[in-house]
Amino acid sequence: MKAMVLNKIVSLKENRTPLELVELQEPVPQAGEILVKVSACGVCHTELDEIEGRTPPPRLPIVLGHQVVGIVQDNGPGSKRFGIGDRVGIAWIYSACGKCSFCLDGSENLCKEFRATGQDAHGGYAEYMTVSEDFAYEIPDVFSDLEAAPLLCAGAIGYRSLRLTHMKDGQNLGLTGFGASAHLVLKMMRHKYPKSNVFVFARSERERDFSKELGAVWSGETEAESPEKLDCIIDTTPVWKPVVEALKNLKSGGRLVINAIRKEAVDKEYLLNIDYPLHLWMEKEIKSVANVARKDVREFLDLAAEIPIKPEVQKYGLRDANKALLELKERKIRGAKVLKIG
């Protein structure tokens, strides 16, 4: 089968073709697994972190890609949840131990043996992949393969971050950063919490305008003061300044949720601007989001079908994965980037 593999950690500034198109042996589904013929795989910012070594895959070469939609082609021994020909999705969570306290209470995203798709195991930048049948999802019929793929990461993690804010209908939500995940959060939040107002902080005027088109009541620069205090804020930026600046807008007892796997170090010293009485005192909280649990993916897919949320998609061939990644790096973004495979 054809696959785009990462052979070594590189800087995209120096190497504009980090992935290589190769011929790999088609994987064979083991006990409890399914073989999936991939039809679409979303391109995510996390792939840039993997390629550039901020979240390096433990073993190389590796096939990246964790927003996978495809058709079940074969069942491994004992697998019976899906029939041949069923459409399934695969997300960032590839497997977990199933036995620890986190796994047993549905927080398998925190399991010590958490393994990620396209990082700890081969992912969807390929014609085929295998996964445990317990870690695959039915895809609601309203979505095409290309539309469903980007929902599996940005959408599901956005859903988890919204859940972790503990917000209630009528409360004010702030979003700092307004990329793929944040714009999905805004859409689901307007549906789930119709009485709440959303305030958006973003660097670019285009993003600020876009957020207002989607229903934000106010938008301003990263360091702006919001016209009202906010009960909760979700940060989806890769840096620190937005976190520090957002904290001053948080209500007493409010919570800021950081939705990022890693933060870049470029502006780490900005944290020295934290003024305890202004930014943290009065029981303000900061919480991170780690990975996704299966429940997040399932609940989000249902919610997205109900609203419905249909992402705008930009399509690339498998062999153009490097081009898609570079454009993502250079912020040439028109909708979610998806590889159309097979």
Of 75 and 236, nearer to Zn ion (C-beta) is 236
Q: With b meaning 16 or more CB within 10 Å and e meaning fewer, what string describes 42-72? A: bbbbbbbbbbbebebbeeeebbbbbbbbbbb
Of 38 and 103, nearer to Zn ion (C-beta) is 103
Q: Is the dihedral of CA 322, 89, 129, 263 positive or negative?
A: positive
Of 6 and 153, nearer to Zn ion (C-beta) is 153
Nearest approach in angstroms of CB 44 to Zn ion is: 3
Of 97 and 286, nearer to Zn ion (C-beta) is 97
Nearest approach in angstroms of CB 118 to Zn ion is: 9
Footprint of Zn ion (CB under 5 A): 44, 46, 96-97, 100, 103, 111, 153
Identify the DSSP state of 334.
S
Nearest approach in angstroms of CB 157 to Zn ion is: 7
Instruction: Give the chain's end-to-end CA distance (angstroms, integer).
Output: 10
3-state secondary structure 165-223: CCCCCCCCEEEECCCHHHHHHHHHHHHHCCCCCEEEECCCHHHHHHHHHCCCCEEECCC
Type of residue numbered 37 = K
Nearest approach in angstroms of CB 36 to Zn ion is: 18
Of 137 and 218, nearer to Zn ion (C-beta) is 137
- The partner residues of 256 in beta bridges, in order of sequence, read 233, 286
Nearest approach in angstroms of CB 298 to Zn ion is: 17
